[in-house]
Structure 1
Amino acid sequence: MRKLFLICFAFLMALPLLLSQAKAANLQDARWVTRTDAPVPYVRMVMDLSAPVKAAASISKDGKTTTVTLKNTKLKMAKSNIIMDSSIASSAQLSQVGKDVAVTIKTPSALDTSDIKVFSLKKDTVNQKPYRIVVDVQKKGVAPKPVNYGKKPSPATGIAGSKGSGKYSTSGGLAGKVITIDPGHGGSDPGAIGPTGYQEKNATLPISKYLKSALEARGAKVYMTRTTDVDVYGPNASGVDELGARVNIANAHNSDAFVSIHINSFNNPTVGGIATYYYAKTGNDARLAQKVQSQIANVPGFNGDRGIQEGNLYVLRHSNMPAILVELGFISNPNEERALKSDQTEQDFANRIAVGIANYFGG
């Protein structure tokens, strides 16, 4: 009897675990991008999930249809057909097949297993990212080439990839320093969109203009990657071309610091707060981030200090000089979206960032 009791007890203890494993995950969102920053260009499709799932992939006999099956998953997206890059992966059709979700990807050329990668990413609580399944589809029939970041000149600016001198100053006061400000998104890319329809690109530009004035009043020489509602490289450019064009401006002008202005977003409207990102490529990126974050963390109307965080972001990696990317609240939070529309908030952010930059340079 004792043995039977222990077996029953063990079963009861395991039951919650079994039930939790049986609960289906929700497929909440899917997006794609063409990546040209690799030896062979590829389309990357990222799918957001409420829980981790197992995935399996198969290729049709003719090689032009790839099916990725997400096990025990419910399709919770309104859009089920995604048009992608006609030269690599033309479309993805998402459908519920019993307890699973089938993602059917059409390609213009026949693929084999070496052309496709499927992998999972864990939930990232620091950067507020859910569980993800990633599918990479390489372009067929292209000879691999050396990685070449942002070397083409921007049609809008005429500035090609430039290493610049690679020299920058980190002390001696702000007067005479060269600062490049990057208002995030613009033109064909609205960025994140708030509950009332306010677009990130329309928040980052006025803050950046106020910041330019505040820095120039302190004697700095300031360049901006854009001064109007335009794409920096060109409309609907690939991510690498667009981001590369922004970095090229900073590098070509031998800037002493690069500051990219952004607004955060998340699917939970109660999430808020202010953060500053850096990439530790020099000994001063984190210090610049800390000096600025200490000034902007407690702007009224926002949910406080999310701290400085290291981020493997293109503009931070490829800028020669110390660089930061500020996330000035969450446009997805109704209260913070409302605050971001205020001219007073725009000026407050700009003045505080300017003070942080001045403190970084020791003045």
Structure 2
Amino acid sequence: MLLGAVAQAAQITDVKWGVNKADVLRIVVDVTDTAGYAVDMEGDTLNLTVNADKGAQVPHSKAVKSSLADSLKIVDKGSYTVVRVPLKQRLLEKSYKAFVLKKDSATGRPFRVVLDVMPRQASYSGSGAATTVVSNRPVVSNRPTKNNSSIKKNIVIKTSTAADKKADKKKSSSKNKNDNKKNTAAAKTETKVNKSDADKLAVIKGNGRFRTSGGLDGKIITLDAGHGGSDPGAIGSDGTKEKNITLPIAKMLKEILEDKGAKVYMTRTTDVDVFGPNASDAEELQARVNVGEKYNSDMFVSLHVNSSVNKNVGGFSTYYYPKTDNDLRLAKNIQNKLAANFGVDDLGVRQANFYVIKRISMPAVLVEMCFISNEKELTLMKGQWFQKKTARLIAEGIEKYFA
């Protein structure tokens, strides 16, 4: 499950619901400050997790009048809150969408997390509401898949449901290849690899030791330029490919870090697949992890560019997985430098279980360097000024982490 931006001070003040003429159930969570979110299915229950405390005035449950559900349950989990929706009917593919609405000081409206749930007969157009935004989840992979009976590939789309997994497995590999070439933000994907499948991969294990202080001099850092080769990543309106943005920034970052005394390795230095052409996602992602483990790195940094169906969405975000006591600290140091020195939105530090930052043993982050779907940011990211500044600020964040 993907949790979004960490907003420890945020508090939920209200949870509301409504049903439109098409019988679309809308759930709106009012929050005092920016907060990340995640949506997942748990049996017949749809869960909306918001990284915010539940206010005392918010009830533990609410009655709902809808063909989809009779009630909402608001569960306080301490540092986050889960809005549970017990469903009365099985959902179809792309039958729920989550997005955020920014705080509007002019109207007095707070920051809101919105979840729209569509019944089987409804067609969703987003009418009567702000344009929907798929949660700012990184495009982890758009690569063609390879038929391999020993390694199963399970792509989870933000708006898919558990009920559709059986149908998904019936799709031919050629259909998957065509689908993966369609770089739409509605297909924001996270690669999940079953543990049994991961165990079958060629896995390199480092010594498990890493340094977290004492300055940059002598530190071992692995940089992962996202995508490459057969996997273009996100694609801009002018055809710009994510893989061609991440690589030059990674090279610039390598040079800066080495000038400060660090030893830097890269998962790729040219436009290639790290594992090899037509690898499965599991093979490709593990190959990137293996580089960090092979050199017993002190840190692993994966560079990506984000994308959204809402072309107005933009900004930096940094993802981490809390496998050590230092992953979050690393993410904060990098995100703080980026957010304080660019005139774009600060989307915050976000927790995610992405393969490369979860499976690797040392502290790791995945940095989303603005949105290729945002025309202003697309123009920026193609320029050397943006690329050099982004590399410099990430380096400064890394240096502060080791201070």
TM-score normalised by structure 1 residue count: 0.64
Letter in structure 2 aligned against 1:309: R
Larger Rg: 1
What is the aligned partner in structure 2 of residue 331 from structure 1? 372
Q: How much does 1:130 deviate?
A: 5.8
Q: Would the aligned equivalents of 1:151 and 1:162 in 2 still touch at CA under 8 Å?
A: no
Residue of structure 2 in register with 1:149 after alignment: 198
CA distance in 1 between counterparts of 2:125 and 2:22 reads: 18
How far does the alpha carbon of each residue in 1:13-61 deviate from its partner, in whole angstroms, 9 at most, with x for none?
xxx9564452599xxxxxxxxxxxxxxxxxxx9647554235xxxxxxx
- RMSD, aligned α-carbons: 3.2
How far did residue 236 of structure 1 move?
Answer: 2.4
Instruction: Tell me if structure 2 keeps the 8 A contact 1:276–1:325.
Output: yes
Unaligned runs of 5+ in 1: 1-15, 26-44, 55-69, 77-82, 89-116, 122-128, 153-159
Aligned 8 A contact 1:298 1:304 in 2: no
Percent identity of equivalent pairs: 45
Residue identity matched to 2:354: L
Matched residue, 1:72: 122
For residues 192-219 of structure 1, what are the alpha-carbon distances to aligned partners after superposition, in whole Å with 9 as ceiling and x for unaligned? 0111111100000000000000000010
1:249 is the counterpart of 2:291: yes
Equivalence for 1:282? 324
The superposition leaves residues 310-361 of structure 1 with CA deviations (integer Å, 9 ceiling, x where unpaired) of 1111111101000000001000000000000011111111111111111101
Find runs of 4+ consecutive structure 1 residues off by over 3 angstroms: 16-21, 45-51, 73-76, 83-88, 129-132, 137-140
Partners of 2:235 and 2:200 lie apart in 1 by 31
What is the TM-score of this pair, normalised by structure 2? 0.58
Contact persistence 1:24–1:73 (CA under 8 A): no
Alignment check: 8 A CA contact 1:24 1:72 kept:
no
Residue by residue over 1:294-317, the C-alpha shift from the partner in whole angstroms, topping out at 9 and shown as x without a partner, is 1111444x5221111111111111
**Contact 1:183–1:204 (Cα < 8 Å) also in 2:** yes
Matched residue, 2:161: 133
Determine helix, strand or coil for the equivalent of 1:73.
coil
Q: Which residue of 2 is the match for residue 318 of structure 1?
A: 359
CA distance in 2, matches of 1:46, 1:253: 42
Give the SS at the match of 1:357. Answer: helix
- One-letter amino acid of the structure 1 residue matched with residue 118 of structure 2: V
Corresponding residue number in structure 2 for 1:29: none
1:213-260 deviations in Å (ceiling 9; x for gaps): 000001001000000001111122211111111001101111000000
Q: Which AA in structure 2 matches 1:136?
A: K
CA contact (8 A) 2:320 2:331 kept: yes
Residues of 1 paired with 2:384 and 2:200: CA distance? 37
- 1:52 partnered with 2:117: yes
5+ residue gaps, structure 2: 1-16, 27-91, 98-115, 127-143, 171-193
Q: Distance in 1 between matches of 2:262 and 2:145?
A: 43
Counterpart in 2 of 1:213? Answer: 255
1:1-363 superposed matches below 5 A: 19-20=20-21, 22=23, 47=94, 49-50=96-97, 51-54=116-119, 70-73=120-123, 131-134=159-162, 135-137=164-166, 147-149=196-198, 152=201, 160-300=202-342, 302-362=343-403
